[in-house]
Every structure is written in C-alpha cells, then in structure tokens.
Homo-oligomer: A and B are copies of this chain.
Amino acid sequence: MIFRQLFHAETSTYTYLLGSLATGEALLIDPVVEDVNKYLGLLEQLNLKLVRALDTHVHADHVTALGTLRERTGCETIMGLGPSTKAECATRHAEDGDDVGIPGIDLRALYTPGHTDDSYCYLMDDRVFTGDTLLIRGTGRTDFQNGDAHQQYNSLFEKLLTLPEDTLVYPGHDYKGFTMSTIGEEKRHNPRLQVHSVDEYVDIMEHLNLPSPKYMDVAVPANLTCGNLATAP
C-alpha cells in the first residue's frame, strides 16, 4: 500500500492519500481545493488512479476538493450522513459501519458526531483518520454546525478510545507540528480526555470562547456543494 500524509499550510489541514499497489487505485481523505493540482500531479507520478474522495465532515475552515476532483477525474465522492446535514452533492453518503474503502484497502466509517452532526472517522487496520473529532492533544470545537459536546464525549469515549491503544491516530489538522499520535497516547495525555464525567467535558467545551473560523461563511456553504462555489446555495 502507498500511504501519504499531505499538509495544507494555510489551514493546517492534513489530507491522506491511500493507494493500492495491487490495483493502482487510490482514495483521498479530506482534500483541500487549493491543492488539487498537487494531488493530481502526485497521483500521476505514483501511477495511481483516483477512484474515491471523501471528507470526514462538512468543513468550516477550508473548501473541500471533492467536487473539483470528481469533475477532473470522475472519482466517486463520499460524505457522511448527519441528521440535519447532508451534502447533497456527494455521489454517495456513508453511514456508521459502512465500508468506504477501495479494493485492497478496507476503510470503515465510524459515526462520531460532536464536532459537527455529520462527523465521521475512518478506520483502516492499524490506523484511524479522526478528522476534527480527535486531534493530537485536543478535540474539535463543538459550538457550530450542530456541534454537541455531549455527543462528542460519547463519540470519543465510547468509540475512539475503545480502539486498541496502539492504533495510530491521523487527525484532520494539527497546529503545533505534530503529524500523528496513538489512541493510547491520547487516552493518557490529551488534556480534554482526562475528565471524569460528560458534564466536566461539556463544561470545558462550553468555555473555550473561540472566535469563529476565518473562512466559515465561505467554507460551509461551499462545502455543502462539495466545494463547487459557483453552485453554492
């Protein structure tokens, strides 16, 4: 398998490329629209054909490349289904437990609402792509897009932290120069996961007092149409 972690510096976003050497097919997780040429150039050099692109949630901090990648490669686009959020533009919607991988690469959707109500993590063998649900020594804010700290607590403690401790954690962002972690490491050292009750967690999340993401007013409507700004509602 070919595995690449790619970084979009302006928004500190990580994008993941998973490619199968056996089939020559690839998928991208959380691609950023400004980096489409970078992805397509790398895929071509690696002799990989992009067959699928998916987002962990409707992002508020950058515009997704899903629509542009579908236009330019014909790849399938996948977004997770939330109760009130639905990116109608996606080819397909994932639900909890769905296999969203490609031949040779198993990838299971884990519904982990909290950061947003359409937040999904994707589990592959020894690693999990945690989007903005679990960050390295942090968790995604829960104060917009139907975010819910109670739900996030459950997603973290009942789903992610029940994975084997040596599961590698690949987040959707990092702002401090870390590239990966493990479930065990986050369980022990993530300050937000040292709480003793859901109420304590909710209290932390309700008092973060963060400003709105810079690009939110552009990014959310754009991402509800897979980044095709021209057709945003």
Q: Which residues of A contact B (CB under 8 A)?
A: 4-9, 35, 38, 42, 45-46, 176-180, 185, 188-189
Report how far A178 CA is from B9 CA in the complex, Å: 10
Distance (whole angstroms) from the CB of A26 to the closest CB of chain B: 14
Q: CB distance B46 to A185 under 8 Å? A: yes
Q: CB distance A5 to B179 under 8 Å? A: yes
What is the oligomeric copy number?
2
Q: CB distance B46 to A177 under 8 Å? A: no
Which residue in chain B gives the minimum CB-CB distance to A44? B189
Q: CB distance A180 to B4 under 8 Å? A: yes
Q: CB distance B45 to A7 under 8 Å? A: no
Distance (whole angstroms) from the CB of A67 to the closest CB of chain B: 21
* B35, B176, B188: the one within 8 Å of A177 (CB): B35
Which residue in chain B gives the minimum CB-CB distance to A177? B7
Can you give 14 contacting A-B residue pairs, CB < 8 Å? A4-B178, A4-B180, A5-B179, A6-B179, A7-B177, A7-B179, A8-B177, A9-B9, A35-B177, A42-B178, A45-B185, A45-B188, A45-B189, A179-B179
Report how far A179 CA is from B38 CA in the complex, Å: 13
Q: CB distance A177 to B45 under 8 Å? A: no
Chain B residues within an 8 Å CB radius of A185: 45-46
Distance (whole angstroms) from the CB of A14 to the closest CB of chain B: 9
20 more contacts with CB within 8 A, not counting A6-B179, A35-B177, A38-B177, are A4-B178, A4-B179, A4-B180, A5-B179, A5-B180, A6-B177, A6-B178, A7-B7, A7-B177, A7-B178, A7-B179, A8-B177, A9-B9, A9-B177, A42-B178, A45-B185, A45-B188, A45-B189, A46-B185, A179-B179
Chain B residues within an 8 Å CB radius of A46: 185
Distance (whole angstroms) from the CB of A213 to the closest CB of chain B: 19
Distance (whole angstroms) from the CB of A167 to the closest CB of chain B: 14
